[in-house]
Structure 1
Amino acid sequence: MEVSNIVLSAPLQQLKDEHVSLQEDMDLFYGITEEIEFESGPAVVELFAKLCEQVSAFTDKLRAHSKREEEGLFPMMARRLGEKDRTIEVMEFEHEKAEHHLQDFLTEANKKASTIDENDVQWITVYAVQAHATITQHFAKEEKQLFPLAENILSVDEKEELERLLQA
């Protein structure tokens, strides 16, 4: 049986669907990082300003999504999986890792804001590239493993509770 073909209940499907819009936003900012890599001069600083806006807006959306998983889905799954299972711990670690990359990007961009030059742009942009890679891999893992696992282990009542939490 191919696990990724499993039909997800409404709340799990909602979390999965949120990945689509987040991935689109990420691909937009990743496209800008590629342009930065191949540009030079004042264009780089202009592109970086665009990148900062995109990453900032994306970070807010991602934070809201992660919060829904961390406050709803993860605790329910952790109770079912038991203390010895590290699945949720790994997912939370990946959330933190992605958050750190995004935060490092925004912090460094703000520090250099008025004095930013091409060199600064190049090394600060690496954080956005790292965030993209981390989150892309994380989403794939959630979609192929975590959501199907949740579908199988959560009770109907838990799924209904999760749905209520996601609507709140």
Structure 2
Amino acid sequence: MTIESSNIVLCAPLQQLMDEHVSLRKDMDHFYEITEEIEFESGLAVVQLFAKLHERVSAFAIELNAHSKREDEGLFPMMARRLNENDKTIEVMEQEHEKAEQHLQDFLTEAEQAGNSMDENAAQWITVYAVQAYATLTQHFAKEEKVLFPLAEKILSEYEKEELERLFLVR
């Protein structure tokens, strides 16, 4: 299943998901830059950068959750009904969502538990979760854009696309 998205025009709800990736990727790039600074700094600077990272990742997790919900509750079930029961595309996408969300949740939980006792070492090892989320989501978004969205455009009926659009407007 290798579909190349280069010349496929997506319907409005699929294009919306694609556009959300642009915004999410920009936010991810911002927090990833902070993780790199943390890696090269030391002492108090690390703790201060971590506070900035925590703020960015917290906001990002909320945005990502809204995006994932549209896919998990709208797009994925529709596609799953259309795909062969042996096709694992949707299952893989759902697993990647869970993996990325788990990395973000681990980051937020560990940061919260460290709280005011945050030191350079804790900040550095907790930051690894944000880096893992970034790596997972970078690959995941690319797969959705190159394979999943073009596949959805191809297999979903006009009625399903309109239904997806209605679902997205409600949220």
When normalised by structure 2's length, the TM-score is 0.96
| Counterpart Cα distance in 2 of 1:154 and 1:44 | 48
SS at match of 1:52: helix
State the distance in 2 between where 1:107 and 1:42 align.
Answer: 21
Question: Match of 2:50?
Answer: 48
Report the counterpart of residue 163 of structure 1 in structure 2.
165
Aligned amino acid, residue 90 of structure 1: V
After superposition, the CA RMSD in angstroms is 1.1
What's the counterpart of residue 3 of structure 1?
Answer: 4
Distance in 2, matches of 1:117 and 1:3, equals: 46
Counterpart code for 2:5: S
SS, match of residue 76 in structure 1: helix
Partner of 2:86, secondary structure, is coil
For residues 73-131 of structure 1, give each alpha carbon's deviation from its aligned partner in whole angstroms, at most 9, with x where no partner exists. 00000000032211100000000000000000000001101111111011100000000
**One-letter code of the match for 1:19?**
H
Tell me the distance in 2 between the aligned counterparts of 1:2 and 1:84: 18
Give the Cα separation in 2 of the matches to 1:87 and 1:66.
16
Specify whether residues 154 and 2 from structure 1 end up closer, same or farther in structure 2 by C-alpha distance, changes over 3 A only. Answer: closer
Q: In the aligned structure 1, how far is the partner of 2:52 from the partner of 2:141?
A: 25
- After TM superposition, list the pairs within 5 Å mapping 1:6-85 onto structure 2: 6-85=8-87
The Cα shift of 1:53 comes to 0.4
Q: Which residue of 2 aligns with 1:153?
A: 155
In 2, Cα distance between equivalents of 1:17 and 1:155 = 21
How do 1:98-117 and structure 2 match up within 5 A? 98-117=100-119
Seq. identity, %: 75
State the alpha-carbon separation in 2 of the partners of residues 118 and 87 from structure 1. 41
Structure 1 unpaired stretches of 5+: none
Match of 1:121 in 2: 123
CA distance in 2, matches of 1:127, 1:167: 32
- Which structure 2 segments of 5+ residues have no match? none
Deviation >3 Å, runs of 4+: none
- Secondary structure of residue in 2 paired with 1:84: coil
**Number of matched pairs:** 168
Q: Distance in 1 between matches of 2:154 and 2:3?
A: 14
Deviation at 1:2, TM superposition (A): 6.6
Separation (CA, whole Å) in 2 of partners of 1:139 and 1:3: 14
Give the TM-score of the pair, scaled to structure 1: 0.98
